[in-house]
Structure 1
Amino acid sequence: MKKRWSALWLLFFILIVWDAVGRWTQVPAWLLPSPLKIFSAGLEDWSRFYVHVLSTASLSFVGFLTGTTAGLLAAILLHRVPALRQPLYPFIILSQNVPVIVLAPLLVIWFGFGLLPKIIVITLVCFFPVTIAALDGFKQTDRELVHYFTMCGASKSQMFWKLEMPHSLPSIFSGLKIAATYSVMGAVISEWLGSERGIGVYMTLASSSFRTDRVFVAIFSIMMLSLLFFFIIVLLERRMVAHQRKELG
Structure 2
Amino acid sequence: MPTALKSLLLFVRRYSVVAVLLALWQAVVAFGLLPDYLLPSPVQIVAAFIDDFWLLMNHAKYTLLTALIGTLIGLLLSFVLSILMDLSAGFKEKIYPLLLLNQTIPTIAIAPLLVIWLGYGILPKVVLVVLSVFFPMTIALIDGYQSVEKEQLNLFKSMKASTYQSYRYLKIPSAMGYFFTGLKVAMSYALVSAVVAEWLGGYHGLGVYMTRVRKSYELDNMFAVIFFISVLTLLLIGLIKLIERRVLAYQPRD
**Deviation for aligned residue 1:57:** 1.5
**Deviation for aligned residue 1:70:** 1.5
1:142 corresponds in structure 2 to 149
Aligned equivalents of 1:106, 1:49: Cα separation in 2:
27
- Match 1:26 to one of 20, 23, 33: 33
Contact 1:60 1:184 in 2 (8 A): yes
- Match 1:188 to one of 160, 183, 195: 195
2:248 corresponds in structure 1 to 241
1:61 corresponds in structure 2 to 68
Q: Deviations over 1:151-204 (max 9, x none)?
A: 222222222211111011000110000011111101101111211121111111
* 1:231 matches 2:207: no
Identity across the alignment (%): 36
2:180 corresponds in structure 1 to 173
Alignment length (residue pairs): 247
Contact 2:199 2:210 in 1 (8 A): no
Aligned equivalents of 1:190, 1:88: Cα separation in 2:
26
Aligned equivalents of 2:41, 2:221: Cα separation in 1:
12
* 1:158 matches 2:158: no
Aligned equivalents of 1:103, 1:43: Cα separation in 2:
34
Contact 1:53 1:221 in 2 (8 A): no
Unpaired runs of at least 5, structure 1: none
Aligned equivalents of 1:81, 1:115: Cα separation in 2:
35
Q: Using structure 1 for the length normalisation, give the TM-score.
A: 0.93
**Deviation for aligned residue 1:83:** 2.6
**Deviation for aligned residue 1:24:** 3.5
Letter in 2 for 1:16: A
**Deviation for aligned residue 1:81:** 2.9
Aligned equivalents of 1:45, 1:154: Cα separation in 2:
58
- Match 1:78 to one of 75, 85, 94: 85
Higher mean alpha-carbon deviation, 79-88 vs 172-181, is at 79-88
Q: Deviations over 1:12-63 (max 9, x none)?
A: 2221121122234531111101100100111112132221122212221111
Contact 1:64 1:123 in 2 (8 A): yes
**Deviation for aligned residue 1:4:** 4.3
- Match 2:106 to one of 96, 99, 103: 99
1:209 corresponds in structure 2 to 216
> Taking structure 1 as reference, are residues 82 and 189 closer, same or farther at Cα in structure 2, changes over 3 Å only?
same
Letter in 2 for 1:15: L
Unpaired runs of at least 5, structure 2: 1-6
- Match 2:55 to one of 32, 48, 73: 48
* 1:110 matches 2:117: yes
**Deviation for aligned residue 1:125:** 0.8
Q: Deviations over 1:42-95 (max 9, x none)?
A: 111213222112221222111111122212221112112333111111111111
